[in-house]
Structure 1
Amino acid sequence: MVLQVGIRALQQRRDQMRGSADAVAGTGDAATACLLLFYAAECGLKERLLARRGLRDSSGLEPTHDLRKLAKELGLPRTIGACLNRLQSCRLHPPTRGSVALADLHQAWRYGAKLDAADEKEAHETLRTLITWCEQD
């Protein structure tokens, strides 16, 4: 079952999760802060899509966690697109090999996968950039 929500609910949840991420970041728990920012960015991007398409709720959107796809549908400015292009994926922290695609980062943070610190920091900054853009659009 996919829950359908409206613009106002997405805005409120974006703001709540961003605020919670700020509070958690102060504790040093980067993974939880990033997970909250990921979902805040997802809510923000979906809210902007609803507003631009004149839709009442998310029933008109494909259910996805792919932030790059959502951003592409919105036609974000080049500066934001450049942030997303730099963040193709996050490397897993050694000794684990491989990487996690942007669309799957929420799973890595949710399940406690250890990511490369520099890549995780880049993801954190990119998510904040997306959220800020959503707020200002």
Structure 2
Amino acid sequence: MVLQVGAKALQRRRDQLRGSAESVDANDAFEDGGTVGLLLFYAAECGLKERLIVRQGHRDSGALEPTHDLRRLAKELRLPRAMAARLDRLQSCRMHPSTRGTVALGDLHQAWRYGAKIDPADEKDAQEALRALISWCEQD
């Protein structure tokens, strides 16, 4: 079942998730980049889907294909060149040095949801890219 959510609800949720991420990030005692990343990922997803609904004149998210692929959503929105380039540079994130491998941008939400450890520098880059996407959605 695909949940049908309107643009205003997605916009509200984007803002709530971003706010929660900033609260967690500001709490020095709670050093968990995965939680911050997960909240930012879903905030960006809500923002991109909200923009698609508005731009395409749909009533709700039921008109969109269900996906967590931020690149795909961004491509549909035809993001400005600078924003698209930022996403292109972030093809994947390295796993923490204690493990091997990489995680594609589209799978980061799973890595963060299940507690996989991401290389700290790559995780920071991913979070910055997600914040930039959220900001773009707010300004579009």
Deviations 1:66-89 (A, max 9, x none): 000000000000110111011001
| Structure 2 counterparts to residues 21-100 of structure 1, below 5 A | 21-27=21-27, 28-100=31-103
- Please list every run of 5 or more consecutive structure 2 residues that lacks an aligned counterpart in the other structure: none
- Please list every run of 5 or more consecutive structure 1 residues that lacks an aligned counterpart in the other structure: none
Displacement over 2 Å in runs of 4+? none
- 1:6 maps to 2:9: no
TM-score calculated relative to the size of structure 2:
0.96
- 1:15 maps to 2:18: no
- 1:117 maps to 2:120: yes
Mapped to 2, the partners of 1:51 and 1:3 lie a distance apart of: 17
Match of 2:59, SS state, is coil
Does 86-95 or 11-20 show the bigger shift? Answer: 86-95
Q: CA deviation at 1:95?
A: 2.7
CA RMSD after TM alignment: 0.7
Q: CA deviation at 1:23?
A: 0.2
Structure 1 counterpart of 2:95, one-letter code: L
Q: CA deviation at 1:2?
A: 1.4
Identity within the alignment, %: 72
Match of 2:8, SS state, is helix
